[in-house]
Structure 1
Amino acid sequence: MNTDLSIEGLSGLEERLSQDLEFLQLPARNWVPPRRHQSQIVRDVLIVGGGMCGLAAAARLKLLGVHNTLVLDRASQGREGPWVTYARMRTLRSPKQLAGPALGLPALTFRAFFEAQFGRLAWDTLDKIDRTTWMDYLVWYRKVLDLPVQNETRVETIESDRDDPALFAVTVESAGTRRTIHARHVVLATGRAGLGGKAVPDVFQALPPELWSHSEDAIDFAALKGKKVGVVGAGASAVDNAAVALEQGAASVDLFIRRNDIPRVNKFTGIGSPGVVHGFASLPDDEKWRFLDYVITEQTPPPRDSVLRVSAFPNARFHLSSPIHEVSAEGGQVTLTTARGTYQLDHLILGTGFNVDLGERPELAAFAPHIRFWGDRFEPPKGQENAELANSPDLGPGFTFQEKQPGACPALKRLHCFNYAATLSHGKLSGDVPAVSEGADRLARAIVADLFSADRDRHFADLQAYDTPEILGDEWQDADAPEAVGQG
């Protein structure tokens, strides 16, 4: 048996995938009755965000027969998500063999994509997936499934339509032109900062903007050559940004870490299983909180390769037990004081993550006052108080937002939060590689059920109107019919 699939190339793999889909009778036929509003086509589902989660959601919906979808992304084609923008690690931290967004189709996995081009031996010798190759895979995934993505399009507002409250009116801007898209469901597949933005601690707020960057920013690392750079944080993004600064010729990089040690163990990885994927959402609230409070308290370590990438430079310094007490600026420099000393720096990079803050999401202004968060209804046990968890949206079974006051904003049951902020309600199904297929399936099945229920009268009418016979009446003879008796 030939195990070197590189002779197929991507064209051969695509033929294999096409045959798999044909054998499985996928995608299902488009069964959702079309709608028009104000002389325009109504989208059954509008997905905001064309990264991994948005593509997986669109693909699963298509396989289930919901073809009238549209995915919007503000980035240009091939630059969706973090992979070739602000992600600065060399490789993904996820194990290479994970199926990721493949939706149960072997020919749609990254492994199949990689081996079709480079062969089995290259796969066997591959350690981890290069992040730019992962981006190449997502570009191919979009193409081979023919997913409807519109790039360089920014969502400005999401509101209930004034004339038809069963629809969303979504105002978008593209190439200087504004238009309104009407949709029955809207999915926010908007990544780590999906319900807020960059977390910038108060102590840094007064610094001149030219003296600091957030790890998500488009940083001009070449301009930091010969400069003294400080990095705040010990997470993966902080360490990776420190590495790039060093590789681009920074005179020194000082990493300031609040804890007395860098986290060592990735706790959630240790219990990864289908049980967690499918069982977490059904846990009682206090148990969900207990699990995630523990994980957040323990923190996720940066990848070992990333730390080694930094420590390979003699001009890199790790400062533990160094919470930031004071920061000031004078003469184009930053003076930073920690519990262990004072440092003069030319530039700061904040690897301080993201927060949930609907005030930073103007597109959600119409719904923000109505969205219920965990902190609105859940009081954690003493000793487990956690502001990050309290500020998580309290989502329904289909990743839908829920109302603070029942009946005040019924449109929320058709607005879905399929991004990192869903973790407390659903587990890690909407932000990371391991279980994104399961998350997309849960989301799509909920939307499919709602679309069918909403159109049940139309489907019943179609049921009544269906008149294609399978029995034509000439297949048998009634033995008791008069003509049959006479013949006897």
Structure 2
Amino acid sequence: MYDLVVVGAGPYGLSIAAHAAAAGLRLRVLGRPMASWRAHMPAGMLLTSEPRSSSLAAPGGRHTLAEYRAAQELTAEPGAAPLSLDTFTAYGRWFGERAVPQIDEVTVTAVRPDGDGFQVETDTGELIATRTVVLALGLRPFAHRPWPLLELPPELASHSSDHHDLSRFAGRDVAVLGAGQSALETAALLAEQGARPCLVTRAGRLRWQAPPPPDGGRLRSPRAPQPGPGTDWPHRVWARAPWAVRRLPSATRVRLARTPGPAGAWWLRDRFESAVPVLPGHRLRAAAPHGDGVRLHLTRTDGRPETVGTDHVVAATGFTLDLGRLLLLHPRVRTGLRTVDGSRAPELGPGFEASWPGLFFAGPLTAPSFGPSMHAVYGTAFTAARLLRGVQRRLGDRRGDRRGALAIPRPARDSAPTAAGGGPAPDAPAGETLH
């Protein structure tokens, strides 16, 4: 029986696995490294988090993005310059090759309770017994599609996370729904691939973030990482104190878990405004096939109806964190977990353990417990170290001796965790703010 099975091989899964392997746990890691980033984000996309905030977490601060760039002889860009998706996904795979002993590139189909542990089933038919399991699944299971699009076939309607190669839309009309970074960048990339995009948004006007001050600003240390553009000061403060967020009232935690209102990154504005027409103040009321395309029935803010015809519609409408969507989790576990009041996210203990003993979560689904840093890559530093301690405590309990848990260095409880890149750190959309 394994001590820990990590389900997912994105930034969180790889960082947790690196810590567990270094601590000597009997470990299995299941998933395709950086698969969501490689297959479900448009090629050409740039991360909204700064490079200084985009290192995965390994014990001792090893295998950083800076080390990868040096090893690949890549020129380091200025601190505020955006990081390309291709560079980040290549870095993540490089990190996994060095920090994680073995990754089984399989899909997990079921996680079931089994005695005082779990049974994990893969698409190859393998059944894996483990004492503890962590679900580090990222955002893909939680893609939100507006209800008017749900009955349209995939050739007419999709979610922004369905696409990597946007060149298939060259020469076609594409309506993009949304007003956040994902919608704005998807529309810009579509235009650059030869499509004819149009942005449809309920917002009366688009919001753009200002570029960061060249000196980092008076209130920010030049070395301090931040989640990415669009994060206001309350979110920045709480992003640096995830251990403190968990002690707040549930309503406050749920509010902090939501990213601020939709806005675009400063470096995207010129590309977008020169290429993409916008229909502001339009709400989607209905959608239906029409000829070879789709007809969108919209309502303006003044109540007047409008109809738009397009070949395809892309919903860049974000994600809904809902335990009910994790169908791989046995129904008895999924429906029995305590959730954060006002949300459908699991209520977690200080070591990221859910109310079902031995079940741990990592990534965006933990934001209602630990705050906005769980939406970005730099949250891996806090998560990996703290979650591993939770796993070790659980293993010690099940062996009947808490001292039986393997030991790792414990940072001071009320000091900021150290980011893999060396600066004080507090997890993106998009994203890395996770997209």
Q: Same fold (TM over 0.5)?
A: yes
Matches within 5 A, 1:278-357: 278-292=243-257, 295-296=258-259, 298-313=260-275, 316-340=276-300, 341-357=306-322
**Contact 2:108/2:328 (CA < 8 Å) preserved in 1?**
yes
**Contact 1:43/1:69 (CA < 8 Å) preserved in 2?**
yes
**Contact 2:15/2:381 (CA < 8 Å) preserved in 1?**
yes
Runs of 4+, deviation exceeding 6 Å: none
Q: 1:291 to 1:323 in 2, by over 3 A?
A: same
Matches within 5 A, 1:182-221: 182-193=129-140, 196-218=141-163, 221=166
Q: Equivalent of 1:257, from 166, 191, 201? A: 201
- The superposition leaves residues 254-288 of structure 1 with CA deviations (integer Å, 9 ceiling, x where unpaired) of 10111112244555353535752332122233432
Q: 1:185 to 1:107 in 2, by over 3 A?
A: closer
Distance 1:280 1:459 in 2: 28
Distance 1:220 1:144 in 2: 29
Q: How many residues align?
A: 377
Percent identity between matched residues is: 25
Distance 2:108 2:198 in 1: 38
Give unpaired runs (5+ residues) of structure 2.
Answer: 210-228, 301-305, 405-435
- Corresponding residue for residue 363 of structure 1: 328
- Corresponding residue for residue 428 of structure 2: none
- The superposition leaves residues 421-461 of structure 1 with CA deviations (integer Å, 9 ceiling, x where unpaired) of 1101112344411221111111111111221232245978x
Higher RCO (CA < 8 A, seq sep 6+):
2
Matches within 5 A, 1:42-441: 42-66=1-25, 68-73=26-31, 75=32, 79-83=34-38, 85-88=40-43, 90-98=45-53, 100-103=55-58, 105-118=60-73, 122-124=76-78, 127-151=81-105, 153-161=106-114, 165-174=115-124, 178-193=125-140, 196-218=141-163, 221-250=166-195, 252-264=196-208, 266=229, 268=231, 270-271=233-234, 272-273=236-237, 275-292=240-257, 295-296=258-259, 298-313=260-275, 316-340=276-300, 341-366=306-331, 367-374=333-340, 378=341, 390-402=343-355, 412-441=356-385
Q: 1:358 to 1:44 in 2, by over 3 A?
A: same
Q: 1:83 to 1:234 in 2, by over 3 A?
A: farther
How far does residue 391 in structure 1 lie from its aligned partner after superposition? 2.2
Partner secondary structure for residue 355 of structure 1 = coil
Distance 1:457 1:391 in 2: 34
Distance 1:168 1:88 in 2: 37
Give 1 or 2 for the bigger CA radius of gyration: 1
How far does residue 138 in structure 1 lie from its aligned partner after superposition? 1.3
- Corresponding residue for residue 30 of structure 1: none
| TM-score of the pair, normalised by structure 1 | 0.71
How far does residue 99 in structure 1 lie from its aligned partner after superposition? 6.0
Q: 1:132 to 1:421 in 2, by over 3 A?
A: same
Q: What residue identity is the alignment partner of 1:71?
A: V
Give unpaired runs (5+ residues) of structure 1.
Answer: 1-41, 379-388, 403-411, 461-488
| TM-score of the pair, normalised by structure 2 | 0.79
Partner secondary structure for residue 413 of structure 1 = coil
**Contact 1:254/1:317 (CA < 8 Å) preserved in 2?**
yes
